[in-house]
Amino acid sequence: MKNNYSFYIILITLLSLPLSSPAQKADKKELRWLKHEITTLTSTSMKGRGYVGKGHQKAASYLERRFRELGLKPVAGNTYTQQYGFSVNTFPDEMTLKLGRKEMVPGADYIIDVASNSFHADHKRIHRVNLLKIKDSTDWIKTKARWYSDEVYYLKGVDSFCKRMNIRVRYFAKSLPKACYIIPQHGKLTWDVATDTMSATAFYVEDTVIRHPHRATVSVHSLLLPETKNLNENIIGYVPGTVPDSYIVFSAHYDHLGMMGRQAMFPGASDNASGTAMMLYMASYFATHPQRYSMLFIAFSGEEAGLLGSDYFVKHPVVPLEKVRFLTNLDIIGDATNGVTVVNATEFPKQFSMLQKLNAAGKYIPDVKSRGKAANSDHYHFTEAGVPSFFIYTNGGKGYYHDIFDKADSLPMANIPELSKLLIDFAEALNGAQ
């Protein structure tokens, strides 16, 4: 009796457990699919999808292969690629910053200004400069004139100085003469991409790791690649529709910041492997679900350098821009815990209302928030050219952005499978809209 009783208890327990619904299984499958793409795009072999070690070219080759595997057709002849070039400043070699006896960790303890020039110094004395003592612009010019190009300077009070002198902090380093500068920074370190160089070499060092050093050892080699040696590619493919010469577009930028020296890699999982993965998922879905209008998919390069890939596309469109009925640009699609924000919602209220109603009907994500125009991603040049466009980004995450911590395993991916369903519904509704 005891054994039979135990058997019935186990059976009742098993029967009471919730079974996975087909929808839940589909969500898990989509999640695995998306995570696989994000992990691939952020792998060390891609080198941050930047310009050291040809990371951007490796990412472009991968996306071209995925477009072909998914069954997308090339728009321009037999090629998926649209090639163009721009100059970019890079740091391809070992980078060293040692303050006193402490070896600084690139990316974690410091970042270098992306427009910095080369500089090398061994156990060099650090000259301390308190910018708060500078009275006016004339005094500032005189102070800089006393600095030497082979010296290292520690600049105190940069933020306050810039406010007083009405100089934007991000452009402050460009006003400095040739030399090496240590600039303490409180809080998050975020890197970028520069298409030119400046005279100075500037390090932004997290202020909590600086312990009043008197000597510095510095080794930085910068290499400005001209546009002829930095060719980039937009990857473009489509699924033909039943109505000729009309397009619904999904886009995302696949480039990121790459490598700062040989140690620090910026994986760019949230920005924007996540958006690229979602764009690929849209391509995989519509490749097997053709629509009334052709579904066009564009993976842009050069976004981090100033929206250069989308700018080039708009100036050299492979399909007539007037034939694009709507473009949805996906950038930072890694955690929709608090829903999404739609840039250009105020510009295209009809489509925004459609998106909100579809979300309410499907109960997909917590919120669809409205935002006005902004030049903050690849939708911008299309909007300016008269193409109806949204830029959608998710609200959530751990705050990793343009840093070495934006990794695939840091993305919560909350509500992302549900977001994919909303995007599919939206595209299908646009196809049915008159």
For residue 18, pLDDT over 80 is answered with: no
Average pLDDT over residues 82-95: 98
Q: Which amino acid is at 371?
A: R
DSSP of 285-336: HHHSS--SSEEEEEEES-STTTSHHHHHHHHS-SS-GGGEEEEEEE---S--
Locate all alpha helices (DSSP H) within 146-202, ordered by sequence: 158-165, 169-172
User: Residue 238: which residues within 8 A CB-CB, separation 6 or more?
Assistant: 72, 73, 75, 247, 294, 295, 296, 297
* Residue 78 confidence class, pLDDT cut points 50, 70, 90: confident
| Band (331; pLDDT cuts 50, 70, 90) | very high
- Taking the C-alpha atoms of residue 150 and residue 130, their distance in angstroms, rounded to an integer, is 19
Residue 1 binned pLDDT confidence (cut-offs 50, 70, 90): very low
Q: Are strands 264-266 and 223-225 parallel, antiparallel or unpaired?
A: unpaired
C-alpha–C-alpha distance, residues 292 and 202, integer Å:
54
C-alpha 95/C-alpha 92 separation (Å) is 9
Residue type, 183: I
Q: pTM for this one?
A: 0.93
- Tell me: the pLDDT tens digits for 423-432? 999 999 999 9
DSSP bridge partners of 154 = 128, 182
- Lookup result for tokens 């910026």: 266
pLDDT at 190: 96
Contact, 277 vs 34, CB < 8 A? yes
Q: Which CATH architecture has domain 95-222?
A: 3-Layer(bba) Sandwich (3.50)
pLDDT digits (tens, 9 = 90+) for 243-278: 988 999 999 999 999 999 999 999 999 999 999 999
pLDDT tier, 137 (very low <50, low <70, confident <90, very high otherwise): very high
pLDDT of 275:
98
**Residue 329, pLDDT score:** 99
Predicted confidence (pLDDT) per residue in 384-425, tens digit: 999 999 999 999 989 999 999 999 999 999 999 999 999 999
- The pLDDT of 322-346, averaged and rounded, is 98
Report the topology of domain 23-87+227-432.
Aminopeptidase (3.40.630)
Cβ contact 133:161 at 8 Å: no
Could you tell me the residue ranges of all domains in the chain?
23-87+227-432, 95-222
